[in-house]
Structure 1
Amino acid sequence: MAGPGGGAGARGARRRTVASRALLAAIAVVPLAAVGLAVFVLSGPRGGPSGSPSNGGPSPSGTPSASLADLPPGPLNILVMGSDIRGNARDAVASQESGGGVADQRADMIMLLHVQADHRRVFGISIMRDSWVTIPGHGPSKINASLSWGGPPLVAETVSSLLSVRIDHYAMLDFEGFKAITDALGGVDVDVPVPFTATFDTHHTFGPGINHLDGQAALEFVRERYAFPDGDYQRVRDQQAFIRGLIAQLVTTGRVGSPAEAAAAVGLASPYVTADPGLDAAGLAALGYGLRGLDPASSTFFTLPTAGTGLSDDGQSIVVPDYPGIAAVAEALGSDTLAQYTVAHGLS
C-alpha cells in the first residue's frame, strides 16, 4: 500500500492537475476548432496496454516531456475557422487537396487568436466574412471565398497578408463538430447581448442575459444574422460571446467532464476537425502546457475595423475594410502591443 504522498494515486492526481491546467490553456487559445483535440490529448493519462503515458503526454512526475517543452518564446498567432459545410470537414479538405474541390464551402467564422509574448493573455480578432480583400493568387474577393479556393491554408495566407503577421497555427471546425463538442461539454452558459429568435432550424428563442445552450442552440446562436438590423456584425459579436461563455465555464469548473466524457467528445468531434500539421497530438500538448499560465479571464475580443458595407465592381454586397484601422491593428500585432491598443480604443 502506498504511503502518504506516494504511489499510483498521488501520481495520478499530479497528472490530472497538470493536464487540467494545460487543458484550460489550450481551450482558451483554440476555443472552437481544437477543443476536441485538446480534450483528447490533455484530459488525462493515456497509453498502451501497460497504462504508461503515451508519447507527448504529461509524465508521471508532472514535468513536461521534451515535446511539451518545445513551445517557443514570444507571441503566437492562431487562426480559427468555422466552416459552413455540412458533413465531414476532413473529407472535404482531402477532396479539395486531391483536386475534387469544395466549391460550396465558405467560412462562417474567421478569428485570429493572438497570445502575447508572456503567454498570459489572449486577444481574439474577428474578421467579417464578407470583407473585400486581396486573396493571394486570385485577386480581390470576399475573404470567405478563400476557403473554397484553397482550404484553410489559403485562408491563413490571406489573413497573414492582410495583417502582415505570421500565422503559427490554424484549425477549422464544421457544423456537426461544433454541435458535438458543445453537447459533450454539457452545454455552455452564454450571456446573450441582443435577444432574438433564430430564423432557421428549430427557431430557438434566445432571451436577454444568461442562456444555457446545447449544441443545436449554440449553432443557431453563432450562425444567426437575419434576425438583426446589422446582420453579420451582430453575428460576430455573438460568436465572441459564445467563446467568452465557453472559457468562463472551463475556468469555473476547472475541468471538462470525466475521462469517459472526454473520450466521447473526441469520438464525436474528431471527424469534423482539420488543422495544420503542427497541431497534431504532440503539438497541441506542447501548446497547452506552454500556455498553462494563461489567464482566460483577461481575454479580449474585438472585430477588425471596417468602413461599412458597399458593393463590389461586379455587384456583390461586401464589407469594406478600414485599411488605416487595419494598419493600426497590424502594427499592434507586430509589436505585441494589443493590450495597449485595446485600452486606447476602448475595447478592454
Structure 2
Amino acid sequence: MSIGETPARPRKKKKHTGRNIILSVVALIVIAGLVAGGYLWNLGRTFDSNSSKITDAFPAEETRPEVKEESKDAINILLLGTDTREVRSDETEEDEFATLPGGGRSDTMMLVHIPSDRKNVFVTSIMRDTWLDIPGVGTAKINRAFASGGVPKAVETLEGLFGIRINHVASIDFEGFKGMTDAVGGVTINNPIAFRPVHNKSYYFPEGEQKLNGEEALAFVRERKAFTGAGGSDYRRVKNQQLFVKAILGQILSKETLTSPAKIQGIVQEMAPYVAVDESLDATKVAGIASSMLNIRSSDMEFFTLPNNGPGRSADGQSIVIPDMDTIEKFGEALQRDTVDQFVASTDLSK
C-alpha cells in the first residue's frame, strides 16, 4: 500500500489491526526474550567465571532430613556473610575461628526461604552466639559448627534444628557490598540509631534517612562495637545488616536498575569476585530461581532474627544468645509445611 492510499475495506483493516497488534506484541516479546537470553548468558559467564565454589558444602546424605511433600518446591538458601579484613588485635579468638572459603570469618548467617508460590521471601538472621546442639560436638555456639566441620557442619546443624533441607549455600564477603552499592549509584537507608564506628571515626551515621556509598555501606554493616547494652552490639549489627540488605535489594529490584543493562552488568561484575557458592548453584540455576520471582519486590521480603530469649551465660561462663526453642520448633514446622507466611503473621518476631 502506497503512502496516502485509502484502504478499500476499512472493516477488514480494523479486524486485521487487532491481530497485527497481537502479532507485534508477540514479536516484541520474542525479540526481547532473545536479547535478554543472550544478555543473561553473558552475565552468567561473568558470574560463573568470577565467583568461586564451596566444594562439599553439604553433609553426608544419611544425616539429612527427608524432603516433605508440602515444601518440595520451596527453596532454602544458607547465606553466609564473611569478612576478610586483617584480624585486629582487639578481636577475640571466637571472631577468628569461623573461617570460610577464601579465609573469611563467618560474621553473619541468614536462612533465605523462598516459598513454593514465590510470592514472598523470608530472611532469618541467626545470631553467631546462638547456643545450639552441634552434631558430634554437643551444645555450643553456632559458630562452633564452622570450627569443627566447616560449612557442611553448619548446614547439618541448621537442617537438624529446622527439619528441612538447605538447597544451596552462598558466602558473600562484605567487600562485595561495597562494589554492589557503588554499582547501583548508592543505597538509601533509614538508620534508626545514630552512631560513629569505633574503629573508623571518620564516619558518622545520623539517625534518619541517608544515602550511603560503598565505603560508607561497608562501615555501616560491619560495626558492632559502637552499640552498648546486654547483647546490644551483635543484636544491633544484625538489625543494621538486615536493614541494609533489604535496602540494596530494593535498589537492585527497582525499575531504574532492572531497565539498565549497564547497571546490572556492573552489579554482577562487582559482586561475583566476592561470592562463593555450592557447586550446584551456577548461573543457570540462579537464572531459573530469578525467573520464578519476577514479581518480587523489597516490600515482599520479611526479615527477622531467629527467635531467642536474649543474651545469657553458658554453664562454663561463655556469653551466649539463648534460643527460644518453643518458637523455633514452630518455625521449623512452618518451613516443613511451607506455611512460613502464616507463622510470621501469627508470631511476635520483634525481638
* Band of TM-score, shorter chain: 0.7 to 0.9
* Alpha-carbon contact 1:107-1:145 (below 8 Å) kept: no
Tell whether 2:202 aligns with 1:182: no
1:151-166 to structure 2, matched below 5 A, reads 151-166=150-165
Deviation at 1:328, TM superposition (A): 1.6
Q: Which amino acid aligns with 2:203?
A: H
Q: Measure, in 2, the Cα distance between the counterparts of 1:279 and 1:245.
A: 24
SS at match of 1:152: helix
Q: Which residue of 1 aligns with 2:126?
A: 127
Q: 1:121 Cα shift?
A: 0.8
- Residues 70-98 of structure 1 deviation map (CA, whole Å, 9 limit, x = unaligned): xx9622111111012338xxxx8567xxx
Indicate the residue corresponding to 1:282 in structure 2.
284
Q: Take 1:333 and 1:170, find their aligned partners in 2: how far apart are those partners? A: 17
Summarize the Cα distance change of 1:117–1:254 in structure 2 as closer, same or farther, 3 Å threshold. Answer: farther
Is the contact made by 1:179 and 1:216 (CA closer than 8 Å) also made in structure 2? yes
Displaced runs of 4+ in structure 1, greater than 6 A?
6-10
> Which residues in structure 2 correspond to 1:93-108 (within 5 Å)?
105-108=104-107
Letter in 2 for 1:170: V
| Contact 2:100–2:106 (Cα < 8 Å) also in 1 | no
Counterpart check, 1:237 vs 2:239: yes
CA distance in 2: counterparts of 1:322 and 1:329, whole angstroms: 11
**Alpha carbons 1:198, 1:224 under 8 Å: kept:** yes
* Equivalent residue number for residue 169 of structure 1: 168
Residue 44 (structure 1) aligned with residue 39 (structure 2)? yes
Deviation string, structure 1 residues 92-130 (Cα, Å, up to 9, x no partner): 8567xxxxxx5xx53211111111221111111111111
Give CA-to-partner distance per residue, 1:158-196, whole Å, 9 cap, x none: 221222211111101113222222222222111112221
Range moving further from structure 2, 169-178 or 144-153 = 144-153
Distance (whole Å) between structure 2 residues aligned to residue 202 and residue 258 of structure 1: 36
Paired residues of 1:188 and 1:213 also in contact (CA < 8 A): yes
TM-score w.r.t. structure 2 length? 0.72
The residue aligned with 1:34 is: none
Please tell me whether Structure 1 or Structure 2 has the larger radius of gyration of its CA atoms: 2
Please report the RMSD computed on the Cα atoms of aligned residues, expressed in angstroms.
3.2
> In the alignment, residue 314 of structure 1 is paired with which amino acid?
D
Structure 2: how far apart are the matches of 1:77 and 1:10? 32
The equivalent position to 2:330 in structure 1, one of 310, 328, 331, is 328
Whether the 8 Å contact between 2:250 and 2:297 is mirrored in structure 1 is: no
Give the structure 2 partner of residue 306 of structure 1.
Answer: 308
- Decide whether aligned partners of structure 1 residues 267 and 342 sit closer, same or farther in structure 2, where only a CA change above 3 A counts: closer
Secondary structure (helix, strand or coil) at the match of 2:177 reads helix
- Give 5+ residue unaligned stretches, structure 2: 1-22, 46-70, 87-98
Question: 1:94/1:298 Cα in 2 relative to 1: closer, same or farther (>3 Å)?
Answer: closer
Cα distance in structure 2, aligned partners of 1:242 and 1:12: 36
The number of aligned residues is 289
Contact 2:331 2:343 in 1 (8 A): yes
SS of the aligned residue for 1:297 comes to helix
Retained in 2: the 8 A contact 1:152–1:171? Answer: no
Q: Tell which deviates more after alignment, 186-195 or 291-300.
A: 291-300
Report if aligned partners of 2:181, 2:217 keep a CA contact under 8 Å in 1.
yes
**TM-score, length of structure 1 as denominator length:** 0.73
| Mean CA deviation greater in 141-150 or 315-324 | 141-150
Alpha-carbon distance in 2 for matches of 1:129, 1:209: 28
Q: Distance in 2 between matches of 1:164 and 1:135?
A: 14
State the identity as a percent. Answer: 39
- Once the two structures are superposed, residues 34-87 of structure 1 have per-residue CA deviations (whole angstroms, 9 ceiling, x without a partner) of xxxxxxxx8934459xxxx98xxxxxxxxxxxxxxxxx9622111111012338
SS, match of residue 320 in structure 2: strand
